[in-house]
């Protein structure tokens, strides 16, 4: 099949590589425009664009896919199907209708759960035992098209958003190849989604990581893992941001301190009171410092029981 590939971040690259290595022909790649990055604000190509250029593929970078000039250009291409994974824009019906086999999307959840831009992290934050990847036929809605194939993945007890990202990104290529094979020979079964069972996972935002210590230790520990490595969970200590990279839930129902209070300080951890139970902080990063384990941090930072972690920087 002749394929137009559409994707932008790292998550999409392994699927593009799988398609390039297959018997199919990738006739072009569509990705988001280059963005300024770093101190020098130099334009940085997207990971998908970099991968496409390594393979000598033609790259298109529309500011808006609804622009008439872009749609007219796409109409001149000879492609049977569009494969879309984490592209970043909603495609108009005029584009969806172009390829004879339609547009196949690869989504990092078991639809209809976690429609939207943040399904990987949401699965960890919610404490799910299983997630996966779904291929679907695209329609004009956000992740509302008919489901095609699914592959499940177990979520480990200490899974992070980053580690689950890697697992799911490696599934996309093989799953879409299987999907395309069944699509081409007419064996593919389309299953409509039940909108009543749908849940939404919004785009990640840094504010999501601001820890509310009144929540349970279990909830906070999941938030820490889900937002690792980005945007990260954080609190404030002595007016400085303190990123929390890992911690363990400690059952301590008898502790009645104010949430956010440091309960105890050990050699390689310190515990913080939550709304229910406490959490032992194992890895952290104080503003202006590098990421480190709690043992190294406590060697250089005098921390005492009774100190308070807060949601605002001026609350000491």
DSSP string covering 115-180: BSS-HHHHHHHTT-SEEEEEEEE--SSSS-SPEEEEEEEEPPTT--HHHHHHHHHHHHHHHHHHHH
pLDDT surpassing 60 at residue 221 = yes
* In the predicted structure, residue 44 carries a pLDDT above the cut 90: yes
Residue 256 has pLDDT above 90, yes or no: no
Which whole number is the average pLDDT over 202-224? 97
Q: Work out whether strand 103-107 and strand 81-85 pair parallel, antiparallel, or are unpaired.
A: parallel
pLDDT of residue 37: 83
For helices 47-54 and 10-21, angle between their N-to-C axes, nearest 10 degrees:
20
| pLDDT above 90 for 10 | yes
Which of these, 104, 114, 117, lies nearest to 6 by C-alpha position? 104
Tens of pLDDT, residue by residue over 161-177, are: 999 999 999 999 999 99
pLDDT at 41: 82
Instruction: Please tell me what DSSP assigns to residue 209.
Output: G
Per-residue pLDDT tens for 90-126? 999 999 999 999 999 999 999 999 999 999 999 999 9
The whole-number pLDDT of residue 316 equals: 45
pLDDT band at 138 (very low <50, low <70, confident <90, very high): very high
Q: Is the pLDDT of residue 241 over 90?
A: yes
Say how far residue 236 (Cα) sits from the centre of its chain: 25
pLDDT above 90 (res 40): no
Residue 311's alpha-carbon distances to 65, 200, 217, in angstroms, are 39, 26, 16
Whether pLDDT at 315 is above 90: no
Q: Strand ranges (DSSP E) for the chain?
A: 2-7, 25-30, 35-37, 42-44, 59-60, 81-85, 103-107, 130-137, 147-154, 233-237, 240-250, 262-265, 270-273, 278-286, 292-293
Q: Which of 107, 78, 229 lies closest to 159, judged by CA?
A: 229
Q: To the nearest whole percent, how much of the chain has pLDDT over 90?
A: 95
Scan for tokens 């194939």, then name that residue.
149
Handedness of CA 177, 179, 184, 185 (dihedral sign): positive
- Assigned token pair, 73: 């250009």
Mean pLDDT along residues 137-151: 97
Sequence-distant (≥ 6) Cβ neighbours of residue 50 within 8 angstroms? none
Mean pLDDT value across the chain: 96
């Amino acid at each position: 099949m002749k394929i137009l590939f559409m994707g932008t971040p790292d998550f999409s690259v392994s699927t593009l590589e799988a398609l390039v290595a297959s018997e199919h022909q990738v006739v072009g790649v569509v990705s988001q425009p280059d963005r300024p990055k770093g101190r020098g604000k130099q334009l940085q190509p997207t990971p998908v664009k970099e991968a496409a250029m390594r393979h000598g593929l033609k790259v298109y970078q529309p500011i808006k896919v609804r622009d008439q000039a872009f749609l007219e250009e796409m109409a001149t291409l000879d492609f049977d199907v569009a494969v879309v994974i984490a592209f970043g824009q909603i495609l108009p019906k005029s584009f969806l209708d172009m390829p004879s086999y339609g547009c196949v999307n690869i989504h990092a959840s078991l639809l209809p759960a976690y429609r939207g831009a943040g399904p990987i992290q949401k699965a960890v934050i919610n404490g799910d035992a299983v997630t996966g990847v779904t291929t679907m036929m695209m329609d004009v809605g956000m992740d509302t098209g008919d489901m095609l194939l699914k592959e499940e993945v177990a979520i480990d007890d200490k899974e992070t958003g980053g580690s689950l990202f890697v697992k799911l990104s490696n599934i996309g290529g093989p799953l879409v190849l299987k999907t395309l094979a069944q699509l081409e020979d007419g064996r593919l079964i389309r299953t409509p989604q039940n909108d009543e069972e749908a849940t939404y996972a919004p785009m990640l935002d840094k504010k999501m990581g601001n820890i509310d210590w009144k929540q349970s230790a279990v909830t906070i520990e999941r938030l820490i893992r889900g937002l690792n490595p980005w945007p990260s969970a954080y609190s404030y200590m002595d007016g400085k941001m303190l990123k929390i990279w890992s911690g363990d839930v400690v059952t301590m129902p008898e502790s009645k301190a104010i949430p956010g209070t440091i309960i105890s300080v050990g050699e390689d951890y310190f515990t913080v009171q939550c709304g229910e139970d406490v959490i032992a902080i194992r890895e952290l990063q104080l503003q202006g410092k590098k990421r480190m384990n709690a043992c190294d941090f406590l060697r250089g930072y005098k921390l005492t029981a009774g100190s308070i972690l807060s949601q605002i920087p001026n609350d000491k």
